[in-house]
Amino acid sequence: MKRFRTTALTLLLCLSASACASPKLSVLDPVEPRTEASGVTISRTAHPIKLPLESLAGATFIGSDGELILYNKRKGLFATVVTSDDWGNPAIQMNEAPSYIFNRDLSAVQNPDLRKELEGVIRMTLEPAKEKEASLVTMGEITAYIAFNPKKTIIMLTSPDKPDLFTQLVLDNFSWEEIEHEILKGIGG
C-alpha cells in the first residue's frame, strides 16, 4: 500500500509539473536585413531598429520616456529602453530579464520583490498563453524575444554588450508579416 501511495504521489507531481511547465519557445531563423537605405531609426542608443520610410507615411511621432509612433487609428508602436535603474538596480543583469520572462524560469532570481515583479511581467507579456506565440530569433549579437498576438505583440531585445538594459517594443495591430518586414528586418539598422 505504501508503494502505491508513493507511485501515485510521484505521478501526481509529474502531471502537475508538466501542466505548469512553460510552453517551449520557438526558435526562428534570422530574417535577412533590410537592404534599402531610407528609413527612420528608433531606439538608437540601445538596440537600433531602422523602420522603413514607406510604412511611416502619415504617422505621428511622440517622444517622452520612449518613442511612440501612431501609424493610423488602429496601428501603433511604443519603444522604450528598460535599464537597471528603472528596476531599482537588481542583482541580475537586465539583459537576462527577457530570458527569465520568456522561459518562465525565475530560479536564479533570489530577491523576492524582483521575483514578484518578474512574475507580474510574465503574466502581462505571455498570458493567456493560448492567445500568444512565444519565440526568439537571434540576429548578429541581438536576440529578440517575441510574444506575438495580432492585437498586441511584445518584443524584448537584448545583447551581451549591453548588460544593464534591454529594449521593449509594444506593437498594436501588427500582422506577423508587418513585424518581419518593419521590425525584424531593421534590427541593428
23-186 topology per CATH: Protein Transport Mog1p; Chain A (3.40.1000)
Contact 23, 177 (CB under 8 A): no
Q: Sorting pLDDT into bands at 50, 70 and 90, what band is 87? A: confident
- For the entire predicted model, the pTM comes to 0.85
Q: Which residue spans within the chain are E strands per DSSP?
A: 26-27, 39-42, 49-52, 60-63, 67-70, 76-83, 133-139, 142-148, 152-158, 165-172
Rounded-to-10 torsion of CA 32, 69, 178, 41: -10
- Per-residue model confidence as pLDDT tens digits over 71-83: 988 899 999 999 9
- Per-residue model confidence as pLDDT tens digits over 136-180: 999 999 999 999 999 999 999 999 999 999 999 999 999 999 999
